Chain A
């Protein structure tokens, strides 16, 4: 199947700093990428949908100024958690959609963010 690379896999930062997470589709072009947040032992919560070259669409309750999303190319989307606080600590997962008839989402391995 298609490969989605997410980096870093783990990050620990101080409160008030910003953290950038990258999501790359390695062997296909993804017109749409998604960002999810997962709390311990829970399902994935969709944060935003990102389309190449346009502004991301955020789900209700997700602060767009806190979670900045940039989809600069067909293979790269980034999520920046600005001025991170301990409550932002979570597991963040990206996915990229193949589009077309199949329209399958392939997921990155996730990033565990710990804010001290």
Chain B
């Protein structure tokens, strides 16, 4: 079945560092890909999405490109802030409800 694998955390970075969180997927067909963010004690917020190959999703300085050839959707941000500290979930939507990765906890220190 469909699955998502994302790098295990926690990831700890200094403010203004470059962030990459790797995400790869296995799916039949052509799924849509998502990154969700969960701040402490809250639900999930859609961060960005891409619906077809080579699409780039971007929001709040984060971006991810749908790479069909490598089945990847890595999340990147050029300069992280303390307020970016959260758990990030990669997810795909194919013929089933959203399939989530296990989440990557990011801590950004000043």
- Does B26 sit within 8 A of A, measured CB to CB? no
Inter-chain contacts of B45 with A (CB < 8 A): 107
Q: Which of B12-20, B60-68, B73-81, B98-106 contacts A (4 or more CB under 8 A)?
A: B98-106
Please tell me the size bucket of the interface on A.
20 to 34
Q: Taking chain B's interface residues, is the majority helix, strand, or loop, or is none over half, making it mixed? A: strand
Check B93–A43 contact: CB distance below 8 A: no
- Does A103 sit within 8 A of B, measured CB to CB? yes
Inter-chain contacts of A42 with B (CB < 8 A): 102-103
Cα distance A112–B42 when bound, in Å? Answer: 10
Question: What would 4 more interface pairs be, CB under 8 Å, given A6-B43, A43-B100, A46-B98?
Answer: A1-B46, A93-B43, A93-B44, A109-B43
List which A39-87 residues lie within 8 A (CB) of chain B.
41-44, 46, 49
Residues in chain A within 8 A of chain B (CB atoms): 1, 6, 34, 41-44, 46, 49, 93, 95, 102-110, 112
Inter-chain contacts of B51 with A (CB < 8 A): 102
Inter-chain contacts of B34 with A (CB < 8 A): 104
Cα distance A34–B99 when bound, in Å? Answer: 12
